[in-house]
């Protein structure tokens, strides 16, 4: 039994080398909006607050806009969002999720977060637009928190380890039995 457990554990070790999914929660704040084009309608919200969680493997980010792994926890604007991640670690979350830039479409929202998966991400740009023009936030901030999610192989190793300990304890009990005759 113990040999089988160790053999299974040895088979699971290479699985733990797989890339790990990163789960990160972002808090974005944009305020002090200034008109950058046209004559937009009065601003819908100032400040703009967005809290979202994104779970992804940074090494295998999709090439185009995606909603996979994105959970909007709270947002004070009525927009559906998508995200894209560039090869240099810049995260764009927007109504269109255009990779590499924000498109100034009518009734759109866009935020660019540089170094999104490092220890010090920066909210580089935040803009809103309507059919008549657009605004950009002069004051921007981003806060992040990470959730540790163990890999499936780690759970497998834990279960196999407990099984091996249980098997070893059971084997010891059998050998220690004393018979009086």
DSSP 123-162: EEEEEEEETTEEEEEEEEEEEEEEE----HHHHHHHHHHH
Which has more pLDDT, 30 or 42? 30
Predicted local distance difference test score (pLDDT) of residue 143: 92
Distance CA 113, CA 102 (A): 12
Q: Do you find a cis peptide bond into 47, omega within 30 degrees of 0?
A: yes
* Maximum distance among all Cα pairs of the chain, rounded to whole angstroms: 102
User: What confidence tier does 177 reach under pLDDT thresholds 50, 70, 90?
Assistant: low
CA distance 140 to 148: 27
Residues linked to residue 89 through DSSP beta bridges, in sequence order: none
Q: What is the pLDDT of residue 16?
A: 47
pLDDT of res. 170: 75
Average pLDDT for 106-133: 88
Beta bridge partners of 141: 29
Contact between 43 and 135 (Cβ < 8 Å): yes
Q: What percent of the chain has pLDDT over 70?
A: 74
Tell me how crowded residue 111 is: count the other CB atoms within 10 A of its CB.
Answer: 26
- pLDDT tens digits, one per residue of 90-118: 888 988 656 556 766 778 888 999 998 88
The rounded distance, in Å, linking the Cα atoms of 173 and 70 is 51
User: Once rounded to an integer, what is the mean pLDDT over residues 131-147?
Assistant: 88
Q: Which residue in this structure is represented by tokens 């977060």?
A: 113
Q: Above 80 in pLDDT, residue 11?
A: no
Q: What is the mean pLDDT of the chain?
A: 79
Does residue 139 surpass a pLDDT of 90?
yes
φ, ψ for residue 27 (rounded to 5)? -115, 115
pLDDT at 142 exceeding the cut of 90: yes
Distance (Å, whole) CA 155 – CA 112: 35
Q: 34-38, 39-43, 63-67, 177-181: lowest mean pLDDT where?
A: 177-181
Give the span between the Cα atoms of 66 and 61, in whole angstroms. Answer: 9
């Amino acid at each position: 039994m113990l040999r089988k457990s160790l053999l299974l554990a040895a088979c699971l070790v290479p699985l733990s080398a797989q890339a790990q999914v990163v789960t990160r929660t972002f808090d974005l704040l944009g305020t002090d909006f200034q008109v950058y084009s046209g004559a937009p309608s009065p601003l819908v919200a100032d400040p703009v607050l967005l809290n979202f969680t994104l779970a992804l493997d940074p090494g295998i980010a999709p090439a185009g806009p995606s909603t996979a792994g994105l959970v909007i926890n709270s947002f004070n604007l009525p927009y559906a969002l998508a995200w894209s991640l560039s090869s240099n670690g810049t995260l764009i979350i927007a109504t269109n999720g255009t990779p590499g830039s924000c498109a100034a479409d009518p009734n759109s929202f866009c935020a660019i977060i540089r170094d999104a998966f490092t220890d010090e991400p920066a909210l580089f740009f935040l803009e809103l637009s309507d059919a008549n023009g657009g605004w950009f936030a002069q004051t921007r901030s981003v806060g992040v928190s990470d959730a540790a999610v163990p890999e499936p192989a780690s759970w497998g190793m834990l279960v196999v380890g407990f099984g091996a300990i249980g098997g070893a304890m059971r084997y010891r009990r059998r050998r220690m039995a004393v018979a009086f005759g």
